[in-house]
Structure 1
Amino acid sequence: MDFNKNLDKYAELAVKVGVNIQSGQILLVRSPIECASFVRSVLKHAYQNGAKNVHIEWSDEESTLIKYLNAPEETFNDFPKWIADQYVDIAKEGGAFLTIYAQNPDLLKNVDPQRVANYQKASGIALKEWRSYTLSDKCKWSIVSVPTEAWAKKVFPNENPENAVEKLWDAIFKCSRVENQNPVEAWKQHNKDLKSRMDFLNKNNFKSLRYKSSITDLTVELPEGHIWLSGSSQDPNGVEFNANIPTEEVYTMPHKFKVNGFVHSTKPLVYGGNVIDNFTLTFKDGKVIDCKAEKGYETLEKLISTDEGSHYLGEVALVPFKSPISDTNIVFFNTLYDENASCHFALGAAYRTCMKDGENLKSEDLDNYGINDSLTHVDFMIGSSDLDIIGQTYDGNQIQIFKSGNWAF
């Protein structure tokens, strides 16, 4: 009974706080078929909150794997135009998008990485117009996660499948504040707390950030006019939504051409059905000039080589080492959770909303403002218990932002 109650509260949270469905709005839900019971609950809450229509796009990982292992090579150089058109049409109509992210981290470990890279690039090209809506908050979108057996067994390898799924559900409910008596109200307070950090960073208008730990030494300059954001966002109609549930981050964009030094990962990165772990990126004038990885090097190399913009950073995100997700001491092998347990960067496109009037800039003008553009946007985690971050203001003052992995103010 408690599980069913929490499951219903989680679905309500995804609808009311995640995409915040409004009366007469269309919702597209993208989900693995294993998460059908949760999607049905989302469907109920969406219609109860006024949704005009809910479309469901199902996926099946076993079918995906069969395709990657058996389809002809040219299959992975194309992405269905009708899918891309559907996304854009829904965005133009003011619709919302909810993604259930529950990937098996090892799904494609035996697949030729070039096939995966080709399809990632093809989908990035096809979905570029739609991603322009999400990157600039021109539509409401949200990501939540639901345990699947394959994912849960990766997180809890010593448990039987049933226990692994149960333990992962418990962690998700805890990290998403579903166990609160009123999760919707709890999220309102959480967003308020995040915005107090955001306001401090915006008030100081930092010129640069210096990251220093036992494995990282990186200086990141920020473009003039940058904006720190956190937690909830607003669509063009001023309706609040949370793109990530859970979230613990305050984030902005780096200057595309002013990142120098090296940074080492502190959590595994799952990308394209493969795990990349224990890797180092070296930057000069913003660009990755060298990369090393203990695991998944070829996948990392192909990620960086997606296009010109994937060689540069598009996001700087601050997350304290001590936070509800980090305190679970679980490596989730799921970027939604792992990125919200750790400071992180993203290779690829910047969020236009992190620049004053950024959503109105033309693509050909972005470099002039230091804003990165790319077909991809991939977060990777670099936070640790010994990470210090010093912010330098335009008048030369230095302010400690993080000390020993946590907020210093």
Structure 2
Amino acid sequence: MDPRIRTHAEIIVDHSTRIEAGDDVVVSMPAVAEDLAVALHEVLGDRGANPVYLNNSERASRAYLRASDDEGFETPAHQLALYEETDAAIIARGGPNASEQSDVTPETNAAYRRAMRPVLDERLGTRWCLTQFPSSGHAQLAGMSTEAYENFVWDAVTLDWDEQREHQARMVDILDGADEVRIRSGEGTDVRMSVAGNPTLNDYGEHNLPGGEVFTAPVKESVEGEVHFDMPLYRKGKEIEGARIRFEDGKVVGHSAERNEAVLTGILNTDEGARYLGELGIGMNRSIDRFTYNMLFDEKMGDTVHMAVGNAYADTVGEENERNESAEHVDMIVDMSEDSTIEVDGEVVQRNGTFVFEEGFE
């Protein structure tokens, strides 16, 4: 076994989920990630935890979704009960074919997401961690050799997270207590939103591994303007390119895409909350230096911002504000490296990807 897999497992257990003796832990990952599952079970055994292992198969999920009636999905009570009794959940992505579910319709995906929302909410209430195993399928999607992709993933996972936390804390200080954020990029993006009363979180490799962003939730009905998401989104085996969304009073009132617009429409039609923003995130991880069609990495890149339609994380919504709720949470990315600014309460805090506290800011 590659020794980096054991290191990966130790970071998940000790840093990301802070496992203690007696914790009940769900480990969910595909067969290709069995080495990581084995390493995790070794570390969990060392810590005195109690794991249960779920094999997450994209092929099996595809078969089920294609065979099912959209009107027949129900929340699986046995799966809900599992997470109700779980202290921590560890999920890894990976697989031989990143496009396995490309022939499942957007309507079926939306119906299934609605039925599974109580399970997702329960899982998000645990000490959860989502990570990536460097499988050949994702290497191919990223346009990299398997070896190069392994190096990319494990270099990102084994970052000095204390140092990254300190770097990102400077942006958290700017956003905490702020009122309005304005994002401008090129001719296609000019959007304003209030973040008043909503906390800003510092993601340094806990719920997401790798981490590398700061994020908050917009006040639900405050978002105004247009956004051109000029970096692609890979969604259930289909690539959405050139997405454009227009907001009024917080709600999506117009949208288009240069490719796979129907997939974007299906996301927005999942439920009422899918037409509001649930997250504003700012990528700050300079070690992730290339786009790989994997949102777990891509949204963390420096010189980017991302916005998620759908569910807002409870920890990012202040007590006086309404939390947007949805079965969806879909991140989309804006390249901020050129002709771009982030303004906080009228002051430019990032220009062309460089933060006000970084060398080279003008």
| TM, length-normalised to structure 2 | 0.90
Residues 151 and 76 of structure 1, relative CA distance in 2, 3 Å threshold: farther
Where structure 2 has 5 or more consecutive residues not aligned to the other structure, the ranges are 358-362
CA RMSD of aligned residues (A): 2.2
One-letter identity of the residue aligned with 2:343: I
Q: Which residue of 2 aligns with 1:237?
A: none
Report the Cα offset of residue 369 of structure 1: 2.0
Q: Which residue of 2 aligns with 1:206?
A: 178
* Equivalence map 1:3-402=2 (5 Å): 4-51=2-49, 53-69=50-66, 71-74=67-70, 77-90=73-86, 95-102=87-94, 104-124=97-117, 126-127=118-119, 129-130=121-122, 134=124, 138-156=125-143, 164-176=145-157, 178=158, 186-202=160-176, 205-232=177-204, 242-320=206-284, 323-325=286-288, 327=289, 329=290, 331-341=291-301, 342-356=304-318, 358=319, 369-386=321-338, 387-392=340-345, 398-402=346-350
Q: 2:309·2:329 contact (CA, 8 Å) conserved in 1?
A: yes
Q: C-alpha separation between the residues in 1 aligned to 2:58 and 2:325?
A: 30
Q: C-alpha separation between the residues in 1 aligned to 2:84 and 2:327?
A: 16
Aligned length: 353
Q: C-alpha separation between the residues in 2 aligned to 1:272 and 1:323?
A: 27
Structure 1 outlier segments of 4+, above 4 Å: none
One-letter identity of the residue aligned with 2:286: S
Per-residue CA deviation, residues 155-210 of structure 1 (Å, 9 max, x unaligned), is: 22xx6xxxx3222111001122x2xxxx6xx22232233223212332xx221111
Report the Cα offset of residue 76 of structure 1: 6.0
The alignment partner of 2:258 has SS state of strand
Q: C-alpha separation between the residues in 2 aligned to 1:23 and 1:407?
A: 42
Higher relative helix content: 1
Q: C-alpha separation between the residues in 2 aligned to 1:117 and 1:229?
A: 28
The alignment partner of 1:250 has SS state of strand
Q: 1:223·1:370 contact (CA, 8 Å) conserved in 2?
A: no
Report the Cα offset of residue 293 of structure 1: 1.0
Q: Which residue of 1 aligns with 2:360?
A: none
Q: C-alpha separation between the residues in 1 aligned to 2:155 and 2:4?
A: 10
Report the Cα offset of residue 130 of structure 1: 0.8
One-letter identity of the residue aligned with 1:340: K
One-letter identity of the residue aligned with 2:186: S
The alignment partner of 1:54 has SS state of strand
Report the Cα offset of residue 339 of structure 1: 1.0
Residues 215 and 79 of structure 1, relative CA distance in 2, 3 Å threshold: farther
Q: 2:29·2:37 contact (CA, 8 Å) conserved in 1?
A: yes
The alignment partner of 1:108 has SS state of coil
Q: C-alpha separation between the residues in 2 aligned to 1:384 and 1:154?
A: 23
Report the Cα offset of residue 348 of structure 1: 1.0
Q: Which residue of 2 aligns with 1:236?
A: none
Q: 1:210·1:217 contact (CA, 8 Å) conserved in 2?
A: no
Q: C-alpha separation between the residues in 1 aligned to 2:73 and 2:167?
A: 44
The alignment partner of 1:379 has SS state of strand
One-letter identity of the residue aligned with 2:133: V
Residues 111 and 376 of structure 1, relative CA distance in 2, 3 Å threshold: closer
Per-residue CA deviation, residues 100-139 of structure 1 (Å, 9 max, x unaligned), is: 0226442222333322222222222x425415xx2xxx53
Residues 76 and 106 of structure 1, relative CA distance in 2, 3 Å threshold: farther
One-letter identity of the residue aligned with 1:58: N
Q: 1:28·1:97 contact (CA, 8 Å) conserved in 2?
A: yes
Per-residue CA deviation, residues 303-356 of structure 1 (Å, 9 max, x unaligned), is: 111111110001111124x7111x2x2x22211111111311111121221234
**Equivalent of 1:406 in 351, 354, 362:** 354
Shifted more, 371-380 versus 28-37: the winner is 371-380
Report the Cα offset of residue 266 of structure 1: 2.9
Q: 1:105·1:333 contact (CA, 8 Å) conserved in 2?
A: no
Q: 1:76·1:116 contact (CA, 8 Å) conserved in 2?
A: no
The alignment partner of 1:295 has SS state of coil
Report the Cα offset of residue 254 of structure 1: 0.4
Report the Cα offset of residue 278 of structure 1: 1.7
Per-residue CA deviation, residues 52-96 of structure 1 (Å, 9 max, x unaligned), is: x01111122222333344x14258623422112211222xxxx11
Q: C-alpha separation between the residues in 2 aligned to 1:74 and 1:316?
A: 31
One-letter identity of the residue aligned with 2:306: H
